[in-house]
Structure 1
Amino acid sequence: MDAHAFGAQALPAWRRAVLKVGSSLLAADSGGVSERYAAGLAAFVTRSREQGREVVIVSSGAVAAGRGVLHTEAAGLTQRQALAALGQAHVIALWQRLFSVPVAQVLLSHDDLRNRRRYLNARATLRELLRLQVVPVVNENDTVAVDELKLGDNDNLAAVVAALVDADVLLIATDIAGLYSGHPVRDPQARPVPQVERITPEIVKMAAGEAGTLGTGGMRTKLEAAGKAAAAGIDTLLFCGRDGDVVAALAEGRLHGTCIRAHGDRLLARKLWLRNAPAGLHGVRVDAGAAQALGARGASLLPGGVVAVEGEFGRGDLIEVRLAGDTGDTVLARGLAQYNATDLRRIAGRHSRDIETILGYRYGEAVIHRDDLVLLPMDARAENA
């Protein structure tokens, strides 16, 4: 299972990544968690940040850390939840020791990602942490999740988080070198698979074996996660997190492992949805300065440029942006509202720094963030007129 049997290939271009680190890379031989492999991964994150990139870590290890504290095994769901609650502090403490910048813990559950408002809140929190130069460390909220509501494993959680933060790549650090054509130990004919263009039934058959004693997901769950990421337009990279040379090579733009390609353009798919989804007649009127900022600079829509709020809508609803005074009712843009109509009426025309003073809280400085906004071409505007 030599990682270098995969050779070297160039990493896809990326600015923001999600790095998933499994329990097998954090567990200590004597119980609890260890920096042995985590230190190299943290060094990669630090180097990437120095290069102007952003990394969100999805970290397992809470149950393993809890076992190390109590020196016991978990026999059922309730015991696993208790061990996770105990171990979370140790996992975060480990990561904080490895970084010179603050580390933030973010616990997510199935409900957080199914409920639109909580989904937006989670995304806003992660975006703000990245803006503040903090390293977010995400884990499933095992202390409250039950089997029917669990995301299943942190491979799939990492794929969901990658889509949540609009990541360019999903990095999955594992204890083997990558995907092989068969089980790399049991099958002497197994060969490295450095590139996967699309996950087919034949590719899934290559994922033999189960997770180790400390993990909940094997290679099959990694392919499931890669499939979710691919559907969101995100490449997935599988590599051995135990090999220091392989991890160091990532910072130099080289992958020794498996690259699973995305199915199309991530941003295009999102923009097409925003452009074509039904939005109704609700929205905002903006002044000429805001319209110019949206069209010429690709800026977010700030409350200072909002002249009027039309209709009733909730946070996260798709709304339309029109120019104030335009009798033709031309739609300039569409996007997801960061504030509901009632709150937006209170902050319309005001500076972003005044939002928290007026409302008592803030979801960010924008009415519509530029990542959630699409400009309509002239022909589409004419159709909406």
Structure 2
Amino acid sequence: MGSGFVEQALPSWRRAVLKVGSSLLAADEGGLSPRYAAALAAFVERSRANGRDVVIVSSGAVAAGRALATPGQAMGLPARQALAALGQTRLIALWQGFFDAPVAQVLLTHDDLRHRRRYLNARSTLRELLALRAIPVINENDTVAVDELKLGDNDNLAAIVAALVDADILLIATDIGGLYSANPRIAPDAAPIDDVAAVTPELYAIAGGSGSRSGTGGMRTKLEAAEKAAAAGIETILFDGTDATVVGRLADGMLSGTRIRAPRTRLAARKYWLRHAPSAGSITIDPGAARAVRERGASLLPGGVLGATGDFARGDVVEIACEEDGLPVGRGISQYAAVDIRRIARKHTRDIDAVLGYSYGENVIHRDDLVAL
């Protein structure tokens, strides 16, 4: 490992998002290569064997499809979208070839993650895939994306996915050692930066653009991703995905690369947001449910719900108030719209589907989406 980075211990983690760029997957002659992906897949396998979850955010569909393109073909947006459609199957086949466990393809756009209902649906799907011990491989849906198909998109998508699945760390595999004081490809005296307390304008000033023919994101977009992740209390790790020794040591809990810290823990960041996010309405609950929320941090079930005030939608932040004294008990993200909550109030969880004709799960508010006051 000649990158000059000092080896340090990784932060403790149970769930990670691993972002792999197309520069690590593209073959020189076109298409995909397992050259660097094999070591990254071995890291995923070892992590899973130790009881951890890894979600992969993988670029490479356009690079895979490019091998099927006519030589000299113009690469406008429609052509790139067609290549992405052709390359998706090859990209998933590459990852599936490394694992005995099933690989699940999940295609997202930023619009899916901005729309509250689709956001919750995507989160529920990913949580279920992890519960099934599948390996989600996420990519942007380049076949339908228009303005989203742009420089460095999957770096930022990976940060959003990390928050979506409640990851502890975001691992970004690059084709250089990590963050340097200058571009190491053109500045021989560039010094490695092992530890970053916070992303600053000074760091953005030294970040470069794309470093390879196949890649779409340079170090700047990785800093943008790290800043997004830090806001959710998630640390970001930048490392050289082309160095099998560096990748292998990650599985041992050791990093040679850059650690970008978050100002507060993931849980603290989420609780802070829930406490201060605008409320769209309120849910009234009985004293027994109020005690369960206050004393045990329990999820809120429909049996303890008495009613709902306002016209909030599924995914909105709402107040939770006790019917007995009217005092606030907590705040959380509602899994059901106000109109639905009024219909399932005081009902057993097994009756939700029969009453509504559908179900988003047994919880009105899941404990992970709730902060007691």
TM-score (ref. length: structure 1): 0.89
Amino acid at match of 2:363: A
For the residues of structure 2 that align with 1:304 and 1:151, how far apart are their CA atoms? 48
Equivalent residues of 1:279, 1:319 under 8 A apart: yes
CA shift, 1:139, in A, is: 0.9
Q: Deviations over 1:126-183 (max 9, x none)?
A: 2222222221111111111112675852111111211222221110001111112222
How many residue pairs are counted as aligned between the two chains?
372
For the residues of structure 2 that align with 1:124 and 1:95, how far apart are their CA atoms? 23
In structure 2, the residue matched to 1:380 is none
Q: Is residue 2:39 matched to residue 1:32? A: no
In structure 2, the residue matched to 1:111 is 111
- Aligned residue among 344, 366, 371 for 1:369: 366
In structure 2, the residue matched to 1:332 is 329
CA shift, 1:64, in A, is: 0.5
- Counterparts in 2 of 1:71 and 1:337: CA distance versus 1, 3 Å: same
For the residues of structure 2 that align with 1:149 and 1:361, how far apart are their CA atoms? 34
Q: Deviations over 1:229-269 (max 9, x none)?
A: 22222211111111111111111110011111112333223
- Counterparts in 2 of 1:307 and 1:254: CA distance versus 1, 3 Å: same
CA shift, 1:63, in A, is: 0.2
- Counterparts in 2 of 1:2 and 1:350: CA distance versus 1, 3 Å: farther
Equivalent residues of 2:151, 2:217 under 8 A apart: no
In structure 2, the residue matched to 1:55 is 54
Q: Deviations over 1:207-242 (max 9, x none)?
A: 235231111111121122112222222211111111
Provide the secondary structure at the position in 2 that maps to 1:320: strand
Provide the secondary structure at the position in 2 that maps to 1:147: coil
In structure 1, the residue matched to 2:160 is 160
CA shift, 1:278, in A, is: 4.2
Q: Is residue 2:132 matched to residue 1:135? A: no
Equivalent residues of 2:209, 2:217 under 8 A apart: no
Amino acid at match of 1:39: A
- Counterparts in 2 of 1:129 and 1:354: CA distance versus 1, 3 Å: farther
For the residues of structure 2 that align with 1:83 and 1:225, how far apart are their CA atoms? 26
For the residues of structure 1 that align with 2:70 and 2:228, how far apart are their CA atoms? 36
For the residues of structure 1 that align with 2:132 and 2:269, how far apart are their CA atoms? 28
Amino acid at match of 2:174: T
For the residues of structure 1 that align with 2:304 and 2:167, how far apart are their CA atoms? 29
For the residues of structure 2 that align with 1:90 and 1:185, how far apart are their CA atoms? 31
Amino acid at match of 2:142: D
Provide the alpha-carbon RMSD of the alignment.
2.2
In structure 2, the residue matched to 1:247 is 247
| 1:4-83 superposed matches below 5 A | 5-70=4-69, 72=71, 75-83=75-83
TM-score (ref. length: structure 2): 0.92
CA shift, 1:115, in A, is: 1.9
In structure 1, the residue matched to 2:349 is 352
For the residues of structure 1 that align with 2:261 and 2:186, how far apart are their CA atoms? 27
Amino acid at match of 2:13: W
CA shift, 1:293, in A, is: 3.1
Provide the secondary structure at the position in 2 that maps to 1:291: helix
